[in-house]
A and B are shown apart, each in its own frame.
Chain A
Amino acid sequence: MKPETLLYPTPKGLFCEKGGFYIDPVQPVERALITHGHADHARAGHTHVMATRETLEIMRIRYGDTFCVSTQEAVLGTRTTIGDVTVSFHPAGHVLGSAQIAVEAGGMRIVVSGDYKRRRDPTCLSFEPVPCDVFITEATFGLPVFHHPDDRGEIAKLLTSLKQFPERAHLVGAYALGKAQRIIMLLREAGYDAPIFIHGALARLCDYYESEGIQLGDLRPATIDAKDKQSFAGAVVVGPPSAFADKWARRFPDPMPIFASGWMLVRQRAKQRGVELPMIMSDHCDWPELTATINEIKPAEVWVTHGREEALVRWCELQGIAARPLHLVGYDDEGE
């Protein structure tokens, strides 16, 4: 069987005809399998959704109970038959609940990895390599320029700055699902036990992480009750990056704009956003991790979904691995 008959790209997303389902569809469909809860992968409006318990829960928090008609919980490592194919979910290490989806029929196995990373993340399960014939990978940081440093060093930069500038509020921009909780956890691991202030947009997701046993410590809403700006001097405030460009940020004393993202590796990016302290921290693989993962899994073929697909395809060719870009439309290759 040719892999293209098992899974192929359509304008709505990757489609499995034999199983009658889409994976991370970008438009409403009858049956959707979802890798993880980020908004460009998990959209509301499908009829039937299958995902891990955590991802279903995150979708419910973000979109309300009516985000779909019926749900089916995927248990990691358990094989489920849908139509003429078998599917199974495996940890992807991207954010809480994230999974790769393996699709099998007639002795052919394709793994859709969704978004993934290979580093330790105290807020989610680590990526698990699954042997397969075709490995479908993202390529958000698919260029040899991307080398993400050790995240402990990036946290140390923040801690040093807190000591150097005790009068300034440290505003850390981080995406609400995953990155924010990971930073808070890493700060706690580094021994930072002062209260951390969070933007309202993070509250429900942080609560959910807590309920899943991920202890984020003393979190407080970043609202000013006592009309005292100074109570935020030297404090860590975590919020979505968009909030810091907003009037919202003006309530803090001499705010220091910080952004935690893999893109911060590129000087011009940090400059452009007006970031004073760039923290290079990503929930995606960097270039060495992308290539090491392909070397480890040794698939017969690699398909690249979104990001910098041309470089990864080229690298695969140089390694003698068949590779092609899928040119999927609708995934945010910049938001991280």
Chain B
Amino acid sequence: MADYFRDAPDPDRGYALAVIAGTLTLKAVKPNVLRQLVLERMDEVLFRYSYDYVGDLAETISLVWEPPATGKPASSDLSLGTVMHQLETAGRANVHGLVRDLLDQLEGSSRFAFLKLITGGLRIGVSARLVKQALADMGNVDITEIETLWHGLSPPYVSLFQWLDGKTDKPKLDMPAVFHAVMLATPVGDNDLASLDPKDFAAEWKWDGIRVQLANLAGTRRLYSRSGDDISSAFPDILEAADFEGIIDGELLVGGTMRTNRATRTFSDLQQRLNRKTVTRKMLEDYPAFIRGYDLLFSGSRDMRPESFLTRRAALSALIEKAAPSHFDLSPLVPFSSWEELDRLRKEPPDPVIEGIMLKRLDSSYTSGRSKGPWFKWKREPYNIDAVLMYAQRGHGKRSSYYSDFTFGVWTESEGKDVLVPVGKAYFGFTDAELEVLDRYVRNNTIERFGPVRSIRAEPDHGFVVEVAFEGINFSSRHKSGVAMRFPRISRLRTDKLPRDADRLETLLAMIGTPEINVASPAEPI
């Protein structure tokens, strides 16, 4: 890769880098443009059926695309740089015609590659880390220099390559409040803790919101998701309250902070605020968002990442002390002296919005990515129920020959009789071998078919019982059963059980309960 980057010309190499790293976004070529193009020649319903079957927009279009009967347009220069440049510079009005001509010129698999490329879905199977390492090797610089610059640059990366070629100075980022790759934890494995000393670690609750990075530098404020997506526009309340300079890492939650002594609300409440371009005043009032601070990356413009967790934590604590109490609090530490004690705490967390424990080495610096050792996550045990398969639907994409999407139900009493009521859907958790078993059962025990959906035989003495694991459960008015599960998945096939042995709706309702809101005392710095 380094050889290629050294030898290929600009802007070809920059676009190639964007393709490999998955950062190519052609503003004018939105999936919607492709959809419009294909619908010029095809019925919308037929297209939808096709898309459902294939499961991938680019592949669907490449398969259904019919070149015009009048013959192909004259071929033009199809090199990567030329095509990308044309597409980037084409105005909204011209881009339709340009893409249409290119699709007409290309055959089967190149049509597919082209569509994948312009929709940013061409997966090369090279990790982002490896690409950055190749760039670092090429320019003989440290990989962290590349990582720091990375999110501030965009294709075709001419300034980056000029610098790595030694022709110009290091590019200056025009936006300082740029995203820095977050530090991730590895799950606690079976024997991981045995060799570790509890004294070397701090423990924190793992809150069930979304991980975010809030930056406020040189007058620019931004809120990023953990993958680096800018979600500022959905959270004006947080941005407005962020009156400190620096970059913090934390959990985005809805409800009240500990500093205001109000309860943290569940993930389903937080969902009301996610994936919105704008937000109404009522939303802001009904679903107030706040950040529970985990870490401090920059204090002002000072890079805190090389410091130890303890030092960063102390600085974070001081910063949050002065920040708006309604929008910022500090994730409390969980005191413990042995792994056994921590395990007990993990299994009975004091707040329903906790999904486990985080373990952080006291001396660890803040490093981007997921390396094993400095940080661990230790989730609480999932909930489990035994349910009966009721309906099955064919999967998408590579699963489209399998019945892999299952609706399952539990027993409840209705008009004096026990009946099954659907409580959720799951389409993962099972192994490929288990999927074969499920698929065969569905095919051999179909009672009725409605298009792609099959209704499966489910009687007290004849049916398929599965163990469903899930992370949480809440009341829901949108579901017939009145409950909605979080992250349900099929964890085991219970071929040893009859449907009559499956769980009842009352059991699920009891799981919701009303746990005491009883969060540990406000955060104390250590």
Contact = CB atoms under 8 A, between A and B. Distances in A.
A265 B63 contact: yes
B50 A144 contact: yes
Contacts of A329: 446, 449
B46 A315 contact: yes
A159 interface: no
Given A144-B46, A144-B64, A145-B53, A266 B400 contact: yes
Interface in B390-439: 397-401
B63 A145 contact: yes
Interface band, chain B: 20 to 34
Interface stretch (B54-62, B247-255, B276-284, B486-494): B54-62
B125 interface: no
A143 B398 contact: no
Contacts, number: 56
A145 B397 contact: no
A269 B398 contact: yes
A204 interface: no
Interface band, chain A: 20 to 34
B49 interface: yes
B49 A310 contact: yes
Interface string A248-272: 0000000000000001011111011
A311 B50 contact: yes
Nearest to B62: A145
A327 interface: yes
Contacts of B400: 266, 268-269
B50 A145 contact: yes
B64 A266 contact: no
Given A143-B53, A145-B50, A310 B451 contact: yes
Nearest to A287: B64
A137 to B, nearest CB: 16
Nearest to B51: A145
Contacts of B54: 145, 266
A318 B400 CA distance: 26
Contacts of A246: none
A150 interface: no
A327 B45 CA distance: 20
A18 interface: no
Contacts of A146: 63
B451 A145 contact: no
A147 B42 CA distance: 15
B43 interface: yes
Max chain A C-beta neighbours (<10 A), residue from B59, B401, B446 = B401
Contacts of B49: 143, 308, 310-311, 314
A315 to B, nearest CB: 6
A113 to B, nearest CB: 21
A65 interface: no
B53 A314 contact: no
Contacts of A318: 43
A147 B400 CA distance: 18
A334 interface: yes
Interface in A167-194: none
A263 B401 contact: yes
A318 B44 CA distance: 11
A269 B43 contact: no
Contacts of A314: 43, 45-46, 49
Contacts of A308: 49, 53
Contacts of B399: 272
A308 B47 CA distance: 13
A69 to B, nearest CB: 27
A103 to B, nearest CB: 24
A272 to B, nearest CB: 5
Interface string A279-317: 000000000000000000000000000001111001100
The 4 tightest CB contacts between A and B, nearest first, are A268-B398, A145-B63, A311-B49, A144-B64
Given A315-B46, A327-B449, 5 more contacts: A144-B46, A266-B54, A311-B50, A314-B43, A314-B49
13 contacts: A143-B49, A144-B63, A145-B60, A145-B64, A146-B63, A266-B54, A266-B400, A267-B59, A268-B400, A308-B53, A309-B451, A311-B45, A314-B49
